Structure formats: structure tokens, C-alpha cells
Structure 1
Amino acid sequence: MQMISEDIAYFEEAERRRLTLSHLIYKGFPSWEGEPGTECFFEAYKELSAMLSDSIPLNLERAVFLIENAYLGNTMKYSDFQNEIGERVQYCQWRLNDLKLDSDDELAKNMAIFSLLTDTLSINQPGSEKTIVHYPLKYNLDDYDSQRDYTSHFVSSMLHSNMGQCYSMPLLYLVMAERMGAEAYLSYAPKHMFIKIKNDKGAWHNLELTCRSVLSDYHYMNGSYIKSEAIRNELYLAPVSKKETVAMLMAQLGRYYRVKYGYDSFIIKCAEQSERYAPNNIDAKIIEADYQTKLTMEIARLMNARTPEMLKEMSPDAYRHYVRMHQLYKEIDDSGYEEMPIEIYRNWLKHVAGLKEKEKSDSQLRLRKMVK
């Protein structure tokens, strides 16, 4: 009887293994749908997709809120988030009023935002004798990669702590610019995000919020892992449109889902939707490549396929995942993307921070004098 029971258990386990393998090959990782909180992500995806397809107006403020609120299980209040943004926008408007600057002037609006986020300011409240002291954002050197607290890079977290990173700082800037009707753009460097604006003559300037400086493209090219192919393909240093920025947030939604639950097809759904509207955003392709790598490795493990040749011989359908994985990595390599070693990134952060004391260029002074 014991032998029969062992045989039954063996065949049941073999059948479970076969079904699991079949699902992985033809459908991917099992869905987490039904787990508490997954509906928050699906709702956010639906609204972001509506923005990207122009079914509803693009709203960066709303998009940022949607992905952070999804991760937090819809526990945030949009009205509270709006009020936090609105308070800072009001300070910028009061600042323009203090300096008697045109509230419709593009550069004045941009530099009012930049000044608010990077300087200690005393702002007069209109209609009263009250003066408000506003302090600049601080760079979170202790958790710049959100390893201690994953939500430390959220804009909502920064609004409460006044500490942010190269992800949350530019997003807050753009949300405020959206409110004020100021023209500003996101831009990328390896492992980094910053703001691009134009001056009155149409020349581009880079606003580096992490070190409160105005930098040239040269500083990013000199201190980062940037290949010429990446410049040609507009992976880095190019201005990113509002729709492309929302598409980037769609990819982030997929990443947040993976962090909270694990791998399933929703991640691919987000990545593909992101890449559709922001083809130059390499992050979406990296997310998809990561998914395909995990899937291929799990399939190979269950099949005990030690080499690609064994995998191909055992199951051509399984082998297609291996092919897709390498196709994605080739596309990533061909784009000019190169992974920056973490130590190089840390050194680059120190380099940029040092520019805060050294950089006193004429272009910076011309930009800043309007709001000083």
C-alpha cells in the first residue's frame, strides 16, 4: 500500500509539473489577479491607457498619483495630493508677485519653480504682512536607490519629508510646471532624470535639482556612461514629451506591481503599452527583458534543460522564450544602452554635487537672476 501511495504521489507531482510547465510556455507566469490590491493596479492601468490614447486629457499630476496610490493600495486621497502641489504652486506665484515678474513669462515661471525647490526663500503672502520661509528639497543620500524604503522615491513621500531623489525631484518640478503652464521637459542620463528648459533665445538648459545647479550636456556626457549611439537614438539628454513621460510612468506601474506581487503578464502589458507611446524609453524594454529572462530560466529549470540546445530539442515552443530574451537584449545593446556600475554612479553623484560649489557660469547667472 505504501508503494502504491508513493506511486500516486509521484504521478500527481509529475502532472502538476507538466501543467505548470505548459502554462509557463504558452501563457507565462500565473496571474496574481484576485490577490488583494491588484485591482488598484488594473484601475490605474486603465486610466493611464485612456490618457495615452487621448480618450481623456493627459494629466501628469494625476498619472503620478495613480501609480503611487496603486502601490499603496488606494489609501491616498487625490485631494490631499493636489493640495500639497497647489500650496507649492501658490508660493511660486507669490514669488513672481514679490519680484514683479510677468506671471505669463515662460522663463520666469520655470525659474520660480527651480528657485522654490532649490533655495531657502522668504516669500511675502499677498494681502498680509506674513512672510513664509520655504526650504529647498534635500537629496536623500541615505536611500538614493530606495533599498531601505521602497516608497522613498515617491513624489508623495517627498512632499511629506522634503527629501527626494533624481526620480521624484524632476517629477515634482514637471507637475508644478503643468499647473503653472510652464514649458519644461524631462530628460534622461544613465540611472538619472533631470529637467530641460529653454531660455528666451531658445537655447536648452539642464536643471539639476539634486545639486541645485544648471548644467550643460557636457557634464552628463563627461561623468556618465553615455555612448554616441545612445545620443543618436535619443535615449539620453533629449527632451521627453509629456505623453512620453506618462508612458514612462506606465512602465513604472508594471515595476511597482512586480515589486509588490511578482511576475505575471500584467508587467508585459504595462511595458508594451509604455514602449508603444515612448519607443525611446529603454526602461520598458529592460523590464520586458527581465521578465523574459526569469520566465526562460524557470522553464529551463523545470525541463532540466542545461543548455539552449537541449531546450530547443526538448521543446521548440519553450525555446522561443530564449530567442525572445536574446532579441530583447540585442535591441537594448543596439540602442547604445550600457549598464552603469553602481560605484561609477556614486562617484558621478559626488562629481555633480561638487559642481554646486564650483559652477558659477554666465548661463547659470543669467537664468537665475530673474528670480533672485
Structure 2
Amino acid sequence: MKNLLPLTILIWLLSSGTAKAQSNQFYNDSYQTIDNMLEGKQKYSFKNAVFSVEEAYYQGKLDTVALNKEIEFLKRFAQSILKNRDLEYKEADKEKVSKYSAVYSIMCRSLPIAYKDTVIQYKPFAYDFTDVFGHNDLPNLFVSKLLITKKGNCNSMPYLYKILSEELGVEANLALAPNHVYIKHQIKSIGWFNTELTSGIFPEDGWLMASGYIHLDAIKNGVFMKALNNKESLALCLFDLAQAYNRSFPGNNGEFVLKALNRAVEVYPNFAKGLILRAETHKKQFEKQMHYQNLDPNNSANIKIAQQDPKTKELMELMKKEYGHIYDLGYRQMPEDMYLDWLVSLRTERNKYENKKLINNFDK
């Protein structure tokens, strides 16, 4: 017969592992960095917030020195474009618009670069259709992966665009659509417009509505199509931190995840992804409570029995309230395969959705 660990030692080992997860210093440091920015105790930097999340996931092994050098190179490249190109734009905010155009060119356009006696063709960043949602490997959503491979998705590409814009001293607003992040700008010539990095075009709002999953209530409540301010963008980083923590410690008790999500929702109350993950975290806690009672959470009769326990009942009521609130905001879940079809439609039907007024004074 094999030797078995005494129950007290086994419990200690399990609890020690859990404690290690809950107090992981890299995740705590990232949370504190973002929270300090929100509180004004630390200078705001979307770049630093994003890299702090990725640093936490990699447990201190992210080469931030190399990444910052790459950011600096792209910044100098943008400055070179600004110096050598006079944008066909006549409004008073030409300097700002020129910076947007330079960043857009770096992200989406092939550009000739003169090097000594040779002209080198710069290749832009490309959309990576492999593991778009990071299900298999979370770093597929990371800016660090985008910088290393020059391939990214609707998470990393708009994040990098915002980082480069801020490096040039101008603001870029992130905006959300179902399963999607893009850029919104406001300029004097036309007002608000969309910049879509995954396809490299400027789509009208009609493209977003064409998905069929943007309810009018979601627009009214700022769930989708809202130009996020810098604090709301940091709320997205807190969501990313919670999601990364779940990947690093899949058996966690939800304490740190809820801490990050509660802070995110405090900053951006109608942040659907944050609200959903918070509800799902409470659902996991509810299911664990049922397992403690040796009850199957998939059995409706057992759920009624479980609610005799005050803690289980409290979590059940909280879940109902949270999921109901998400629905009332106008959020509708878009199937992932439909999202990919919708994304491709922007490339194949660009003439139908592209903002043609903008092309003439922004991309030339």
C-alpha cells in the first residue's frame, strides 16, 4: 500500500498554494500601478499599464527594455514621417491630425525608407487570424507579441495605436464593439470618426451596426461605440489583469479577480466584459459552495437545496442581479464565428462601409 500524506499536511499544502496565488506580487504590483494612475498618485501611461499586466502574466520575465526600445523606434519613425510629409488637411488641428495619420501609416501602410543608398520597404502590422480570442495562448492578445511578430488582433493593435499616439503627445480614444476594440477620433473637419486597425480602413458606424449585435440600449448606455477616456481605458487593463490572473491561477478563489473587476467597474460602470467576468466569477464561487455541500450545480433540485445555505443563497441572488443588469444594458453576446465573418466583411465590402470623406484629408 502506498504511503498517504496525513490529511492535515495535505490541507496545508493546498492552502499554501492558494495563498501563493492570492498574494502573487507581480499581479499585486500591476494592480497597484494601475490604481495609482487612477488615483493620480502616479503619472498616467497607458503603455506602462499595459506592460505591467503582461509583466505580471510572465512573472517578471517580460523584456520591457527591448519593448520600450521598439516603441521608441516607432516613435522616431512617426516623427520622421511628420517631418517629411505635409498632410492635405487645412483645419486648425492639422498638427494633431498629422500625428494620427503618421501612426496610422506605421500600423497599416507599406512605406519606403531611405537607408544610405538603398530604399527599404517598411512592412506594416498584420492581422493574425490564429487564436483571435487568446483561448489557446493568452499572449496572442498582448502588445508584446504584436511588437515581436508584427502580427496582432483587435486587442493588441488598437492598444499599440493608442500607445504610439500618446508617445507623440496626442490622445487616442479606444472604443468597444462586440468582441472588438477599435479607435475613435474627433477632428474639426468631420467630427468623430472610426479607425479600424484590423483592416486598415475608416468605417462608418453602419459597419458596427451591421453586426446585428449592437442593441440601441447598448449604445445609449455606453456599452458599445463610446469613445473611452483614459481612465476607462485603464479599466480595460484591469479586466486584462483579472483575465490573466485566471489563466495563471485557474483554481483561485476569485478574491483578486473580483478586486480588479470591481475597480474596473467603479471607473467604467457599464463595462460589459468586466460585468460579465465578475458575474462568472461569482458563478464559480457559487458552484464551489455547492460542491462543498456535495451537491451537483447542474441539478436544479440541488440548487434549491443549496440555497438553504446563506452564503450560497447570497451568491445565487447576486448572480441573477448581475446577469439581469448586463442584459438590461443592451449587451448581447456575439458568437465567435459570426464575429470573424463580420470582421472579414469589412475587408471584402470596404467600399460599402468606408468613410470616403476622411480618406481625402487623412490618408494623403
TM-score (norm 2): 0.87
2:339 to 336, 345, 359: 345
| 8 Å CA contact 2:203, 2:354 repeated in 1 | no
Deviation at 1:303, TM superposition (A): 1.6
Distance change in 2, residues 1:224/1:93 (3 Å)? farther
CA distance in structure 1 between the aligned counterparts of 2:17 and 2:214, rounded to whole angstroms: 37
Equivalent positions of 1:352-371 (< 5 A) are 352-356=346-350, 361-369=355-363
More moved, 347-356 vs 182-191: 347-356
Deviation at 1:358, TM superposition (A): 5.9
Equivalent positions of 1:197-346 (< 5 A) are 197-201=185-189, 203-262=191-250, 263-264=252-253, 265-305=255-295, 306-313=301-308, 315-346=309-340
The amino acid across from 1:343 in the alignment is D
CA distance in structure 2 between the aligned counterparts of 1:35 and 1:290, rounded to whole angstroms: 19
More moved, 154-163 vs 87-96: 87-96
Q: What SS does structure 2 have at the residue aligned with 1:186?
A: strand
The amino acid across from 1:66 in the alignment is S
| Matching residue of 1:59 | 45
Question: Is 1:88–2:74 an aligned residue pair?
Answer: yes
Percent of pairs identical after alignment? 24
Uncovered stretches (5+) of structure 2, i.e. residues with no partner:
1-5, 296-300
Q: What SS does structure 2 have at the residue aligned with 1:214?
A: coil
Q: What SS does structure 1 have at the residue aligned with 2:19?
A: coil
| 8 Å CA contact 2:206, 2:353 repeated in 1 | no
CA distance in structure 2 between the aligned counterparts of 1:311 and 1:37, rounded to whole angstroms: 30
Deviation at 1:35, TM superposition (A): 4.8
| 8 Å CA contact 2:138, 2:244 repeated in 1 | no
The amino acid across from 1:362 in the alignment is K
Question: Is 1:143–2:131 an aligned residue pair?
Answer: yes
Deviation at 1:140, TM superposition (A): 0.5
CA distance in structure 2 between the aligned counterparts of 1:321 and 1:283, rounded to whole angstroms: 19
| 8 Å CA contact 2:178, 2:334 repeated in 1 | yes
| Matching residue of 1:109 | 99
Distance change in 2, residues 1:356/1:135 (3 Å)? farther
CA distance in structure 2 between the aligned counterparts of 1:185 and 1:273, rounded to whole angstroms: 20
| 8 Å CA contact 1:85, 1:176 repeated in 2 | yes
More moved, 144-153 vs 201-210: 144-153
Q: What SS does structure 2 have at the residue aligned with 1:205?
A: strand
| 8 Å CA contact 1:185, 1:196 repeated in 2 | yes
Deviation at 1:144, TM superposition (A): 1.3
Distance change in 2, residues 1:318/1:115 (3 Å)? same
Per-residue Cα deviation, 1:126-184 (whole angstroms, up to 9, x for no partner): xx666453211111112212234321110001101000000000000000011111232
Equivalent positions of 1:144-159 (< 5 A) are 144-159=132-147
Deviation at 1:90, TM superposition (A): 1.0
Uncovered stretches (5+) of structure 1, i.e. residues with no partner:
1-8, 18-28
1:123 to 102, 107, 113: 113
The amino acid across from 2:257 in the alignment is I
| Matching residue of 1:6 | none
Q: Which of structures 1 and 2 has the bigger CA Rg?
A: 1
Distance change in 2, residues 1:297/1:361 (3 Å)? closer
Q: What SS does structure 2 have at the residue aligned with 1:142?
A: coil
Question: Is 1:191–2:190 an aligned residue pair?
Answer: no
CA distance in structure 1 between the aligned counterparts of 2:19 and 2:66, rounded to whole angstroms: 29
CA distance in structure 2 between the aligned counterparts of 1:358 and 1:323, rounded to whole angstroms: 46
CA distance in structure 1 between the aligned counterparts of 2:112 and 2:22, rounded to whole angstroms: 46
| 8 Å CA contact 2:175, 2:183 repeated in 1 | yes
The amino acid across from 2:360 in the alignment is R
Per-residue Cα deviation, 1:194-235 (whole angstroms, up to 9, x for no partner): 001122335111001101110011110112410011011011
CA distance in structure 2 between the aligned counterparts of 1:287 and 1:30, rounded to whole angstroms: 26
| 8 Å CA contact 1:122, 1:131 repeated in 2 | yes
Q: What SS does structure 2 have at the residue aligned with 1:343?
A: helix
Q: What SS does structure 2 have at the residue aligned with 1:267?
A: helix
| 8 Å CA contact 2:97, 2:362 repeated in 1 | no
CA distance in structure 2 between the aligned counterparts of 1:37 and 1:310, rounded to whole angstroms: 34
TM-score (norm 1): 0.86
